Amino acid sequence: MPVRNVVLYPDERLRKKCRRVKEVNDEVLQLIEDMAETMYSAHGVGLAAPQIGVNRRIIVFHAYQAEDDPRARLMGIVNPEIVERGPSSEFGEEGCLSIPGIRADVLRPTEVVIEGLDHEGDEILVELTEFEARVCQHEIDHLDGVLFTDHLDGLTREVLLRQYEEEQANQKGK
């Protein structure tokens, strides 16, 4: 299970709508394993295929990672789609492995229902709440070329991305 390189903003691959997966095969299963390993290596809680340069509708997430937390589970979903959003929303802090060092509050529904395929290619329907719902929505956004910063007002987005770009330039200059 190799750790893949995470694609960083402003790479154009982060802005492309991803293609659906036709079948869950060994290549897809290996990709899911690589994505999980990459997510854990980067200390993330979710990862979408375009974040490692793969234009496919695949996400992995593990929102609750404490071993003693009964909600702890790694999930990989192929062709995930949000089919239902709950009536309530709340702001919560988000960051992104593809825009390291930048965090902001984003308004999202606190409950979602996701349909897709599991690692065996079987159709699944998953109900998610709270942090898990937030993480999953963030990752599904990636599959449509949407970044969490796109949910911010224009001025906040501009300031944060300028801050990020300056930090990246400083890192390269060292």
Q: How far apart are CA 112 and CA 137, in angstroms?
A: 8
Active site residue 93: no
Taking 50 as the pLDDT cut, the residues of the chain under it are: none
Q: How far apart are CA 84 and CA 140, in angstroms?
A: 13
Residue ranges of alpha helices (H) inside the chain are 26-41, 130-143, 154-173
Q: Give the active site residue among 33, 132, 139, 165.
A: 139
To the question of pTM greater than 0.85 for the whole model, the response is yes
Say how many Å lie between the first and final Cα of the chain, rounded.
Answer: 31
Domains and CATH numbers, the chain: 12-173 (3.90.45.10)
* Structure confidence by residue, pLDDT tens digits, 4-52: 999 999 999 999 999 999 999 999 999 999 999 999 999 999 999 999 9
Q: How far apart are CA 15 and CA 158, in angstroms?
A: 17
Residue pair 123/83 in contact (Cβ under 8 Å)? The answer is no
Residue ranges of alpha helices (H) inside 45-153 are 130-143
